[in-house]
Amino acid sequence: MNIILLGPPGAGKGTQAQRLVEERGMVQLSTGDMLRAARTSGTEMGNKVAAVMDAGNLVTDEIVIGLIREQLEGDAVDGGGGNGFIFDGFPRTLAQADALGALLKELDQPLDHVVELQVDDEVLVERIVGRAKEAEAAGQPVRADDNEESLKVRLLAYYKQTSPLIGYYYAKGDLVSVDGLASMDEVAASIKGVLA
Ligand code: AMP
């Protein structure tokens, strides 16, 4: 079973993806994590996208589609993918959604559900600023884009470029919306209900 977790920054996609990995043995494919790893290891691509990410803008479709293609093709070759993929933070544009559809078709893989985590903007800002403060207090690194300035850009990018995917997947009959404002356990239970 392959699913997409869709929602604005701070909606809880990463947290819920992690639970699905632990509870169902699914494989999380987070383009944000892949890009951060590329930066840390200082690859040419990582260096190229660093400033774009820090400002809160989206990196090019070509780069993220390439990353996802590598993962899916690699896993397909290894017979991996375990109990399915969770696409977390991808796709984020209509071009990425089309590319993912084509790629899954090529690999003879289904897209089972697109789970939208609905959260209101005020809560997002509080969650993200809170996430940065918690990390700081615990002596952990704070994401360079977890500040109010970048957050505004990230929210705008979400509404301009990513939110059209809600209509796109609704029209395809793949969309299920879940209340992302509920507690972590309640959101996990709602997702479980969708996947059952
Ligand atoms: P995330 O961890 O999903 O919040 O992603 C962090 C940052 O990585 C985003 O603000 C973008 O700059 C970049 N990024 C992650 N995924 C994508 C994507 N699918 N398309 C474009 N940029 C992305």
pLDDT at residue 11, rounded to an integer = 94
Average pLDDT by stretches of 10, the chain with 196 residues: 95 96 95 96 95 97 97 72 90 98 94 96 85 92 89 94 98 97 96 95
Q: Of all protein residues, whose CA lies closest to atom 19 belonging to ligand 1?
A: 90
Question: Measured in angstroms, how far is the CA atom of residue 156 from the centroid of ligand 1?
Answer: 13
Asked if 13 is an active-site residue, the reply is yes
- Indicate the length of the chain as a whole number: 196
- The active-site residue out of 13, 19, 36, 39 is 13
pLDDT at residue 78, rounded to an integer = 59
d(CA 60, CA 63): 6
Q: For ligand 1, is residue 145 a contact (CB within 6 Å)?
A: yes
Residue 186 makes CB contacts below 8 A (sequence gap 6+) with: 179
pLDDT at residue 125, rounded to an integer = 84
Residue 49 makes CB contacts below 8 A (sequence gap 6+) with: 35, 38, 39, 59, 63
Question: Measured in angstroms, how far is the CA atom of residue 136 from the centroid of ligand 1?
Answer: 22
Asked if 39 is an active-site residue, the reply is no
- Provide the whole-model pTM: 0.94
d(CA 183, CA 100): 30
Asked if 24 is an active-site residue, the reply is no
Paired tokens of 188: 């996990």
d(CA 122, CA 125): 5
